[in-house]
Chain A
């Protein structure tokens, strides 16, 4: 049955394409249709997965069916524990992001604006950046023990560099022709920073934010696997002890979902802050 589905589906799509193009030659696919289409593949994937588990003889201990994962999710939601763990994880990620992002942005501003600060700081920062931050894990445990501080430190460290680098880059890439405009319009130093340099650096900074969000998650996944009693990572480790594959899969799905949501937030931020930018015009090209 599963095989049946996977071979028929593409034919059905191409059939729909053909009729659409015959009906109205010039009409492109509407936004809504494209969004529906983009969900088709993941939906089919889940369907095939479910079918394989039910009829394909896949051992649920190896790979539980999506329905079993959903049932597990429901159990954890009703006893409230899912939200407790989720809350801990989100709080760690957010705290680490704010601290690391703040430090990265601050250092980025300093180095971006001042050649002196660059001479003093940039080389050291680049050297630290060369360390894969996850390699610091054993040291972090020695320094901070297995408390919250260590986890937040790890997330902060991961977040700091992408924000730092993109802030410096953004500031340095501001068009010098626009800085000449600042001069001939008699713009004050403050005006130059708030009206020209920061908006000009914003696309680059937001790229850093998006990248940092992904790094924050990665750091969290690793950090939460060390001696924890709360958090999504703990949920996964605990489930591993008892071979509860459906809980493990659930935690993976949750990590994925939160990653998608975080990226969505970053994109919404881009759309709002970069409304002027040709790449973010509402409704596509003009």
Chain B
């Protein structure tokens, strides 16, 4: 297998506070990796460093020059019709055709000239997915992209993203704090704590007897005790 991205010895500080320290990570092409962690554990900082949005203080990132990113908010340009949003930054004559095809893939064919304001939250997030996948990225970074959606829409989005990743086969890093979401869509789940990766679970191997044992382990890793869960 070839790597979508390799990270070695990554360090990131905000002033005195060390957010990421000596982090190593490798994601294969076609592999879906979910990153769990408590708020402020540095998982979003890691994603932004991989996306090239924030600088790093030390370490190496070997990966594509520009990974595709889907943020928690859809971040569509309100003044551009959907196809222009999807084709943003693509300057070939086929840009529109590619955008229309990508919109079809996320189930929004016929909406290419519509405005973002006419979309529901789930639809807008699907356009954001189309915008990411239309550039056939080697690495796809998802920063809690389904966190703001309602439960039913989220389940549909999980199926959609799994299909899309299976078809396009980028390496995926999903940052989330939703344990069930991670188990539902990832191949491998990492837990980040104290600025580095504290645990790694192979989802298929761990869920042979159902998802409950893995769920329990992950909640334990995240500091959610039995008592908390009962309450």
In the complex, which residues 228-286 of chain A have their Cβ closer than 8 Å to any Cβ of chain B? 274-278, 281, 286
Interface residues of A (CB under 8 A from B): 177-178, 180-188, 191, 195-196, 199-200, 202, 274-278, 281, 286
Q: Which 6 A-B pairs have the closest CB atoms?
A: A185-B89, A199-B79, A276-B79, A187-B89, A184-B69, A186-B89
CB distance from B75 to the nearest CB of A (A): 5
Contact residue among B71, B88, B115 (Cβ-Cβ distance under 8 Å from A195): B88
In the complex, chain A residues whose CB is within 8 Å of the CB of B118: 286
Question: Given known contacts A184-B66, A184-B68, is B135 in contact with A276 (CB within 8 Å)?
Answer: no
Q: Which residue of A lies closest to B134 (CB)?
A: A185
> Contacts of B88 on A, CB cut-off 8 Å?
181-182, 185, 187, 191, 195
Segment 87-138 of B: residues with Cβ below 8 Å from A: 88-89, 91, 115-118, 131, 135
Smallest CB separation, B183 vs chain A (Å): 28
Most B C-beta atoms less than 10 A away, residue of A196, A200, A202, A276:
A276
Which residues from A are CB-within-8-Å of B68?
Answer: 184
Q: How far is the CA of A109 from the CA of B78 in the complex (A)?
A: 22
Q: Are B66 and A195 in contact (CB under 8 A)?
A: no
- Cross-chain contact of A188 among B71, B91, B135 (Cβ < 8 A): B91
Indicate if the CB atoms of A276 and B75 lie closer than 8 Å: no
Q: What are 29 sample pairs from A and B whose C-beta atoms fall under 8 A apart?
A: A177-B73, A180-B71, A181-B71, A181-B75, A181-B77, A181-B88, A183-B52, A184-B66, A184-B68, A184-B69, A186-B66, A187-B88, A187-B89, A188-B89, A191-B89, A195-B84, A195-B88, A199-B77, A200-B79, A202-B79, A275-B115, A276-B78, A276-B79, A276-B80, A276-B116, A277-B79, A281-B117, A286-B117, A286-B118
Contact in complex: A195, B80 (CB < 8 Å):
yes
Q: Across the interface, which residues of B come within 8 angstroms of A181, CB to CB?
A: 71, 75, 77, 88
Interface: B145 (CB within 8 A)? no
B67 within 8 A of A: yes
Q: How far is the CA of A177 from the CA of B84 in the complex (A)?
A: 18
A276 to B82, CA, bound (A): 11
Which A residues lie within 8 Å of B89 (CB)? 182, 185-188, 191
CB-CB under 8 A from B78, the residues of chain A are: 276-277
Contacts of B80 in A (CB 8 A): 195, 199, 276
A196 to B131, alpha carbons, bound, how many Å? Answer: 16
* Closest beta carbon of chain A to B87's beta carbon, Å: 9
Q: Using Cβ atoms and an 8 Å threshold, which residues of chain A touch B135? A: 185-186
Whole-angstrom CA separation of A181 from B67 in the bound complex: 12
Given the complex of chains A and B, what is the CA–CA distance between A184 and B80 in angstroms? 17
Residue of B at shortest CB range from A202? Answer: B79
Tell me, rounded to whole Å, the shortest Cβ–Cβ distance linking B94 to chain A: 16
Contact of B53 with A by CB under 8 A = yes
- Neighbouring B residues of A274 by C-beta, 8 Å: 79
Residues of A within 8 A of B51 (CB): 184
Beta-carbon contact of A276 and B117 below 8 Å:
yes
**Docked complex Cα distance between A182 and B71 (Å):** 13
Residues of A within 8 A of B131 (CB): 185
Q: In the complex, what distance in Å separates the CA atom of A188 from the CA atom of B66?
A: 13
Rounded to whole Å, the gap between the CB of A183 and the closest CB of chain B is 6
Q: Cβ of A196 and Cβ of B77 under 8 Å apart?
A: yes
Besides the known contacts A199-B80, A275-B115, 19 further A-B residue pairs in the complex with CB atoms under 8 A apart: A177-B73, A178-B77, A180-B53, A180-B71, A181-B71, A181-B77, A183-B52, A183-B53, A184-B51, A185-B88, A186-B135, A187-B88, A195-B77, A195-B80, A276-B115, A276-B116, A281-B117, A286-B117, A286-B118
A48 and B88 alpha carbons, distance in the complex (Å) = 59
Please name all residues of chain B whose beta carbon is closer than 8 Å to the beta carbon of A277 when the two chains form the complex.
78-79
Inter-chain contacts of A177 with B (CB < 8 A): 71, 73, 75
Please encode chain B, from 56 to 76, with 1 for each CB lying within 8 Å of some chain A CB and 0 for all others. 000000000011110101010
Give the distance in Å from the alpha carbon of A277 to the alpha carbon of B77 in the complex: 11
Cα distance A195–B91 in the bound complex, in angstroms: 13
Which of B69, B73, B89 is most buried by chain A, counting CB atoms within 10 A of its CB?
A: B89
B73 touches A184 (CB 8 A): no
Which of chain A's residues have a CB closer than 8 A to the CB of B67? 184
A185 to B65 CA separation, bound complex (whole angstroms): 11
Closest to A273 in B: B79
CB nearest to B137 among chain A residues: A184
Q: Which of B66, B71, B84, B117 touches A278 (beta carbons < 8 Å)?
A: B117
- Residues of B with C-beta under 8 A to A186: 66, 89, 135
Closest chain A CB from B116 CB (angstroms):
8
Q: Which B residues are CB-close (under 8 A) to A275?
A: 115
A184 to chain B, nearest CB (A): 4
Would you give the shortest CB distance from B52 to chain A, in whole angstroms? 7
Chain B: minimal CB distance from A270 (Å):
13
In Å, the complex CA distance between A196 and B80 comes to 9
